[in-house]
Structure formats: structure tokens, C-alpha cells
Amino acid sequence: MKTELEKCMAGEWYDCHDPYFIEAKAKASEWCTRYNAVPYSQRGERRKMLEELFGAVGKNVSVGDNFTCGFGRNIYIGSNVSVNLNCTFIDCNRIDIGSDTLIAPCVHLTTATHPVELADRLTPDWNPDSGEYRWRTYALPIRIGQGCWIGANVVVLPGVTIGDGTVIGAGSVVTRDIPPNVVAVGNPCRIIREINV
């Protein structure tokens, strides 16, 4: 029988209030409080903290102030990556960010989601006294390629892959995969042109 973590990482419905997730969320919340209290000038200390929590972090990585994450341990970042201010990474499943990528302010990468149909979204025979979570939840990985630029206030939804070298315009909502070397903008995000490489 699969654990709740195994179900989560497989993209299946899982109990997000399982003790494993409660403990991991508490650790990440405490880490975010500590990280955001470290002055930007103390880059060495910030670097140590990224290595402490993230799944992997390459060389020359900067994560700006007011950063929030769900677990941290599912975040994998390549080298020469800048994550600007006020970003939120809900990493219930894996988030991969390739090297030489820019993440602008207020970007949200969200791996967690719920079924659309109400009958599927609600846990059947739910008892509020049971401690069981009311809504069914699942999570899908997000992959951002190398050499990308994700503009300010972009939201990337669960299961999306963004190809190498692609630029996502500010304010976009990325609902489906975007191929390499294009500029894509809008809600929902659509390709507007190719980038010459």
C-alpha cells in the first residue's frame, strides 16, 4: 500500500493532512520566517539556508526577500538562477528550474490542485470530527527549462513544462506546456512569437 507521500509524488489523490505533510509544512514555514529575516547583504548565510532546505541548488543562486514555499525539499534549482522578491513556490510535487533562468517578482509556481467536479473534489462520507481533510488534493510537477525568463506576477499551474530559452510575459497564467524558445503571454498563456537561436 502506498504512503500518502508516494501517492502525492505519483500525482494521485492524497491526504495533505497526513502527519508527514504537517511536519514538513511546519519545518518549511519556520525556515521561511528565518530566511526572510536574514538581510540580503548576508548572501553566504542565505546560501547555506537554501542548501539546508531545497532538494538541490546550483552555484550562484539568489532567492529574494519574502519568499514562501510549501515544503522546500521538492525545489531543484540549477546554477546562475535569480528568484526575485515575493515569490511563492507551492512544491507539494517537484519544481525544477533550469540554469541561467530569471524568475521575476511575485511569481507563483503551484504544483497542488483539486478535481474540478464537485463530486470528485469532496471527500465522500466526510466527518468533520474525523480530522480527515474535506477536499481531495493532488499535485503535479512543474519544470522550467534552462535560460528562461518568467515575468512578474506570472502564475504557473500544476503539471506545466516550460521549454528552454522561453520567455513568459508578465501577468500570464500558464495552464499548459510551452515549447522551447518562444515568447508566450496572456491568460491563458499563448505563444506570440518564436525566439531566434
Examine residue 131 and state whether it is found in any structural domain, yes or no. Answer: yes
Domain that holds residue 172: 4-190
Q: What type of residue sits at position 197?
A: V
Q: What are phi and psi of 135, to 5 degrees?
A: -110, 135
The rounded mean pLDDT for the chain is: 95
Q: What is the pLDDT of residue 116?
A: 92
Question: Which H/E stretch holds residue 55?
Answer: none
Count of the separate structural domains present in the chain: 1
Q: Which of 25, 47, 94, 114 is catalytic?
A: 114
CATH code where residue 86 lies: 2.160.10.10
Examine residue 51 and state whether it is found in any structural domain, yes or no. Answer: yes
* CA nearest to 85, candidates 70, 69, 100, 63: 63
Examine residue 196 and state whether it is found in any structural domain, yes or no. Answer: no
Residue 51 has pLDDT above 80, yes or no: yes
Examine residue 54 and state whether it is found in any structural domain, yes or no. Answer: yes
Maximum C-alpha span of the chain: 58
Examine residue 195 and state whether it is found in any structural domain, yes or no. Answer: no
Examine residue 166 and state whether it is found in any structural domain, yes or no. Answer: yes
Q: What pTM was computed for the model?
A: 0.94
For residue range 128-140, what is the model confidence (pLDDT) as tens digits? 777 667 788 999 9
Q: Is 114 a catalytic residue?
A: yes
Q: What type of residue sits at position 194?
A: E
Number of H helices, E strands in the chain: 4, 19
Examine residue 21 and state whether it is found in any structural domain, yes or no. Answer: yes
For residue range 77-130, what is the model confidence (pLDDT) as tens digits? 999 999 999 999 999 999 999 999 999 999 999 999 999 998 888 877 777 777
Q: What are phi and psi of 19, to 5 degrees?
A: -55, -35
Torsion of the alpha carbons at 41, 44, 48 and 53, rounded to the nearest 10: 30
Examine residue 110 and state whether it is found in any structural domain, yes or no. Answer: yes
Question: Which H/E stretch holds residue 24?
Answer: helix 19-37
